[in-house]
């Protein structure tokens, strides 16, 4: 992004829609929480393109909830979730990796009433391969799809990456297809899943572009500047793009799936994407559609530490799905930030700090055994487990996940992929 980085919700209170002073402001939350957060100083930088913290433990998510005006996924909500689904919540939810939401209670009520909803998530293709951090929203989305038996749309924002990165349109489309193969290799049901890339889908489905225009008519230039921090030197494509990410949260964007039904949408995503959907939640009712619900995840830490998130732009910050077992081992051993002490003697005496240890964080995401994870946390905290041992366990946990994904991806031919991109009705529900 060009120019200064503003707190995402700064100045929104003063904004109006379509220049009308009596119109509702773009949503920054539902109450004074967001307005309080708008002026409160914070050391964390969180926007759709940048994540940084001065704290070794990473972003303060409790403060971020207050700043964004979202709601915490608390024990009461998890209990309701489990009661309605009849199964334990995913470990991402139990362990707080999906920690925040907007209107998840509404989605659960729809489920109780037997009413439909759909899932929407996405990926901005900026590299030829995903890294393990990119798997997180897709793992959650796949679990939700299977748990609720609902349709899923996956957006590849190749247009966004063309606008923000030094990428030609043709190259962005190719990267999108490569990323889609990684996504399909996770095992999404083709009968319930539709994948599309913006640079091609808009030409195949006029409803998408029509909704983009409807959304753009509802949001002023001042508002997108206030929400996203755009500056006067930013290209005009960036200013118009948020409407393209908002459109899939409106069910009429997919007439071949939903017809003319106005269906609720649930979006699992990292919380840095929330500004797009605060805007969307303001616009949707004005277009006659329900507000999208969201489930927000924490950031997957870079190997160098939780001060930044794992990035596809930095080879050494990430474990890629194309990495060999040797590369995974070398990256974790060399780069994974340690919560251990300077010497073995000091570590044995004082214990490690799992909250800042990247190897432990990797285990928190990918080691599914709750009892084993707690055993590791306690042993490391007491100094009974050394940094080298926790790194070894992280390598042993990640390597088979990457190897299994590589084997599955080899089976994803262009013909298989094309089936997911085909405009068609989806099969779901009873």
Q: Residues 133-164: pLDDT tens digits?
A: 999 999 999 999 999 999 999 999 999 999 99
Q: Residue 354 and residue 348: Cα distance in Å, rounded? A: 14
Q: 276: which 2 tokens?
A: 């797009």
Residue 357 sits in the same domain as residue 233? no
As for how many domains the chain has, the answer is 2
* Stretch (H or E) spanning 215: helix 206-218
Q: Is residue 71 part of a domain?
A: yes
Q: Look at residues 142, 172, 168 and name the one whose alpha carbon lies nearest to residue 157.
A: 172
* Helix ranges, 117-273 (H): 135-148, 158-164, 169-184, 198-204, 206-218, 221-228, 236-240, 242-246, 255-258
Residue 86 sits in the same domain as residue 204? yes
Q: Residue 292 and residue 300: Cα distance in Å, rounded? A: 24
Residue 118 sits in the same domain as residue 218? yes
Q: Is residue 66 part of a domain?
A: yes
Q: Is residue 426 part of a domain?
A: no
The owner of tokens 């930088």 is 45
pTM: 0.87
Q: Residue 154 and residue 194: Cα distance in Å, rounded? A: 6
What is the residue-level pLDDT of the chain in tens, covering all 430 positions? 343 333 333 233 223 333 332 333 344 333 333 333 334 444 688 777 777 777 777 788 899 899 899 999 999 999 999 999 999 999 999 999 999 999 999 999 999 999 999 999 999 998 888 999 999 999 999 999 999 999 999 999 999 999 999 899 999 999 999 999 999 999 999 999 999 999 999 999 999 999 999 999 999 999 999 999 999 999 999 999 999 999 999 999 999 999 999 999 999 999 999 999 999 999 999 999 999 999 999 988 889 876 777 766 666 788 999 999 999 999 999 999 999 999 999 999 999 999 999 999 999 999 999 999 999 999 999 999 999 999 999 999 999 999 999 999 999 999 999 999 999 999 977 5
Residue 194 sits in the same domain as residue 336? no
Domain of 395: which CATH number?
1.10.240.10
Q: 163: which 2 tokens?
A: 């606008």
Q: Residue 259 and residue 368: Cα distance in Å, rounded? A: 39
Q: Look at residues 303, 328, 353 and tell me which one is the last residue of a structural domain.
A: 303
Are 376 and 385 in contact by the 8 Å Cβ rule? The answer is yes
65: which DSSP letter?
A: H
Are 65 and 100 in contact by the 8 Å Cβ rule? The answer is yes
The model's pLDDT over 295-324, given as tens digits with 9 standing for 90+, comes to 999 988 889 876 777 766 666 788 999 999
* Stretch (H or E) spanning 174: helix 169-184
Are 399 and 367 in contact by the 8 Å Cβ rule? The answer is no
Q: Is residue 85 part of a domain?
A: yes
Residue 366 sits in the same domain as residue 251? no
Residue 338 sits in the same domain as residue 399? yes
Are 263 and 292 in contact by the 8 Å Cβ rule? The answer is no
- Beta strands 117-123 and 152-156 are parallel
Q: What is the largest CA-CA distance in the chain?
A: 68
Residue 50 sits in the same domain as residue 129? yes
Boundaries of domain holding 98: 12-303
The owner of tokens 């190749």 is 158
Residue 171 sits in the same domain as residue 51? yes
Q: Is residue 424 part of a domain?
A: no
Q: Is residue 325 part of a domain?
A: yes
Domain of 242: which CATH number?
3.40.50.620
Residue 293 sits in the same domain as residue 316? no
Residue 241 sits in the same domain as residue 350? no
Residue 280 sits in the same domain as residue 378? no
Q: Look at residues 285, 303, 321 and tell me which one is the last residue of a structural domain.
A: 303
Residues in the chain: 430
Q: Is residue 4 part of a domain?
A: no
Residue 92 sits in the same domain as residue 192? yes
Q: 47: which 2 tokens?
A: 């926007």
The owner of tokens 């995913």 is 90
Q: Is residue 156 part of a domain?
A: yes
Burial class (CB in 10 A: 0-12, 13-18, 19+), 93: buried
């Amino acid at each position: 992004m060009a120019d200064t980085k503003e707190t995402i919700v700064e100045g929104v209170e003063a904004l109006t829609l379509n220049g009308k002073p009596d119109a509702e402001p773009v949503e920054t939350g539902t109450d004074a929480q967001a307005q309080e957060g708008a002026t409160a100083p914070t050391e964390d930088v969180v926007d759709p393109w940048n994540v940084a913290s001065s704290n070794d433990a990473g972003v303060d998510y409790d403060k971020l909830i207050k700043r964004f005006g979202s709601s915490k996924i608390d024990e009461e909500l998890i209990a309701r979730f489990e009661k309605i689904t009849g199964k334990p919540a995913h470990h991402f939810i139990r362990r707080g990796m999906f920690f925040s939401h907007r209107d998840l209670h509404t989605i659960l009520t729809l489920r109780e009433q037997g009413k439909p909803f759909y899932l929407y998530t996405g990926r901005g293709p900026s590299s030829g391969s995903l890294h393990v951090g990119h798997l997180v929203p897709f793992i959650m989305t796949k679990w939700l799809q299977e748990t609720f038996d609902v349709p899923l749309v996956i957006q590849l924002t190749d247009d966004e990456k063309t606008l923000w990165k030094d990428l030609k349109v043709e190259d962005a489309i190719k990267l999108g297809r490569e990323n889609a193969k990684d996504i399909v290799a996770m095992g999404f049901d083709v009968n319930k899943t539709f994948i599309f890339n913006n640079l091609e889908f808009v030409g195949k489905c006029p409803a998408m572009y029509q909704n983009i225009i409807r959304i753009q008519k509802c949001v002023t230039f001042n508002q997108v500047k206030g929400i996203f921090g755009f500056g006067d030197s930013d290209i005009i494509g960036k200013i118009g793009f948020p409407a393209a990410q908002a459109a899939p949260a409106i069910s009429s964007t997919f007439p071949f799936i939903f017809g003319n039904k106005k269906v609720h949408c649930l979006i699992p995503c990292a919380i840095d994407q929330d500004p797009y959907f605060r805007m969307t939640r303001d616009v949707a009712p004005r277009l006659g559609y329900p507000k999208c619900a969201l489930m927000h995840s924490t950031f997957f830490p870079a190997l160098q530490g939780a001060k930044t998130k794992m990035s596809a732009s930095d080879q050494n910050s990430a474990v890629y799905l194309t990495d060999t077992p040797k590369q995974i081992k070398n990256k974790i051993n060399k780069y994974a930030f340690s919560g251990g002490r300077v010497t073995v003697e000091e570590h044995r005496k004082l214990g490690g700090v799992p909250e800042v240890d990247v190897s432990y964080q990797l285990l928190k995401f990918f080691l599914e055994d709750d009892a084993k994870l707690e055993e590791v946390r306690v042993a490391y905290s007491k100094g009974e487990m050394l940094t080298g041992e926790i790194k070894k366990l992280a390598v042993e946990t990640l390597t088979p996940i990457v190897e299994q994904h590589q084997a599955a991806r080899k089976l994803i031919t262009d013909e298989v992929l094309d089936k997911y991109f085909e405009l068609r009705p989806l099969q779901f529900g009873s």
